[in-house]
Amino acid sequence: MLTLRPLPALSDNYIWTLAGADGRCIVVDPGEAAPVEAAAAEGLRPVAILLTHHHPDHIGGAARLRERFAIPCHAPVDPRIDCASHRVGEGDVIAIPELGTAFTTIEVHGHTSSHVAFHGAGVVFCGDTLFSLGCGRMFEGTPAQMLASLDRLAALPGATSVCCGHEYTLANAAFASRVDPDNADLQAAIARARQARERGKPSLPTTIADECASNPFLRVDTAAVRAAITDHEGAPPASRADAFAALRRWKDGFRA
Ligand code: ZN
Ligand code: FE
């Protein structure tokens, strides 16, 4: 039995840990070392670090943790990540024998040019590609690339736990509601997130099935989201990628 636990870090990041009964765990995207060191003082024992992309809020604590615990650090091929011990790309499997499990690397470019996700043990660590009720900004990719990346994640088994890099769910909720106001699954997802946050808990993980039912960025093929995009643009999108691009642009300029 493995236990997922997000460690809040920086302003709104989560450092994800997945631990066995004995506390041995992987650490995903440690933007700072202190929250992991604090958890280690209470029994968590890091055995590997996984990094999804090069942004400082995801890797800032990795060099220190790698040295402190003498553990491997798996990261995509990118010179901007200099603390890696092992490089991974599409389809590469990272075995974690201490947890009796393994993670497959999925290249999900778009937020950055080398962003990856890790899928295994019924969980996907998706960094800043997929958020609950939203998706990452396209800093280094095209809409077609980002859409292809989200398609890859959406195709994972519905029960897969979605572990995103940030607590953005409620921040994303207003835009999602504007785009897809009649979606009862979306309103239920927002209600769940609100309840969790009011109790001081993370709104994550969600599941792939939840996101497919509620996240407008995974629903550009639905009649409701297409109609909203058409209404906002004044003309129907010429392609899926155009629909996605219009939706992302709309959100970039959206103020609740
Ligand atoms: Zn990022
Ligand atoms: Fe981030």
Q: Give the DSSP letter string of 213-248.
A: HH-GGG-TTSHHHHHHHHHHHSS--SSHHHHHHHHH
The ligand placed nearest to the CA atom of residue 57 is 2
CA dihedral 134, 132, 174, 200 (to 10 degrees): -150
What pTM value is reported for the model? 0.97
Domain 3-252 has CATH 3.40.640.10: no
- Interacting residues of 236 by C-beta distance below 8 A, sequence separation 6+: 226, 229, 230
Q: Structure tokens of 234?
A: 């004044």
Q: 111 C-alpha vs ligand 1 centroid, how far in Å?
A: 7
For the chain, first and last CA: distance in Å? Answer: 41
Cis omega (within 30 of 0) on the bond before 72? no
67 CA → ligand 2 middle, Å? 23
Amino acid at 48: A
Distance 233 CA to ligand 1 centre (A): 28
Domain boundaries, the chain: 3-252
Taking the centre of ligand 2 as the mean of its atom positions, its distance from the CA of residue 239, in whole angstroms, is 29
The residues annotated with a catalytic role in the active site are: 53, 55, 57-58, 109, 128, 166
The ligand whose atoms approach the alpha carbon of 167 most closely is 2
What is residue 160's predicted lDDT score, i.e. its pLDDT? Answer: 98
pLDDT, residue 256, reads 76
Q: Going residue by residue through the chain, which has 256 residues, state the pLDDT in tens, using 9 for 90 and above.
A: 899 999 999 999 999 999 999 999 999 999 999 999 999 999 999 999 999 999 999 999 999 999 999 999 999 999 999 999 999 999 999 999 999 999 999 999 999 999 999 999 999 999 999 999 999 999 999 999 999 999 999 999 999 999 999 999 999 999 999 999 999 999 999 999 999 999 999 999 999 999 999 999 999 999 999 999 999 999 999 999 999 999 999 999 998 7
Ligand that lies nearest to the alpha carbon of residue 114, given by its number in the listed order: 1
Question: What pairing do the DSSP bridges indicate for beta strands 123-127 and 161-164?
Answer: parallel
Give the 3-state secondary structure of residue 163.
strand
